[in-house]
Amino acid sequence: MSLARTCTRSMVLTMVLTAFAVVITSGTGLALDPSHQYDATLNQMLDAVHSGSRDQFIEHGDDRFKNGFSEKMFGQLVQLFGQRMRQGYDVTFLTTLRQQDYMVYIWKLAFKDGKDDYIIRLAVKDGIIRGFVIR
């Protein structure tokens, strides 16, 4: 694959997922939750990308997340990552960040094909998914 095509895919992915990112700056914090309580939720969301199930992907999101993550955008996510996921991947929890009223959980996504890894950010407020970004 050419560098131009790789950059274009990366740019499309960033544009698609940034549209749903919770833009958060420093502000009031919450108590740090070091648990990995959202591992199962993330695994369900990644399984949904793998299988192409948008309903499963948005299940734990708030209405804004559900309505904002259109079929077309989910299809782009599946197109960009579905094949690589079918070849295998590992997810490693890295840390949490307190950002305004959100807890942001961060994982490393490493594919078995040995190509680029990604960082996944899952923004949560009141136990509900408010944002998902993969870069």
Q: What is the DSSP letter of 115?
A: S
pTM check: above 0.75: no
Selection from 95, 99, 94, 106 nearest residue 132 by Cα: 106
Q: Which two tokens stand for residue 14?
A: 């960033």
The whole-number pLDDT of residue 20 equals 36
pLDDT at 35: 52
CATH class of 3-134: alpha beta
Q: How many residues does the chain have?
A: 135
Alpha helices (H) along the chain: 3-18, 39-51, 54-58, 63-68, 71-86
DSSP, collapsed to helix, strand or coil, labels residue 48 as: helix
- Each residue's pLDDT tens digit in the chain (135 positions)? 444 444 445 444 444 444 333 333 223 233 434 456 899 999 999 999 999 999 999 999 999 999 999 999 999 999 999 999 999 999 999 999 999 999 999 999 999 999 999 999 999 999 999 999 999
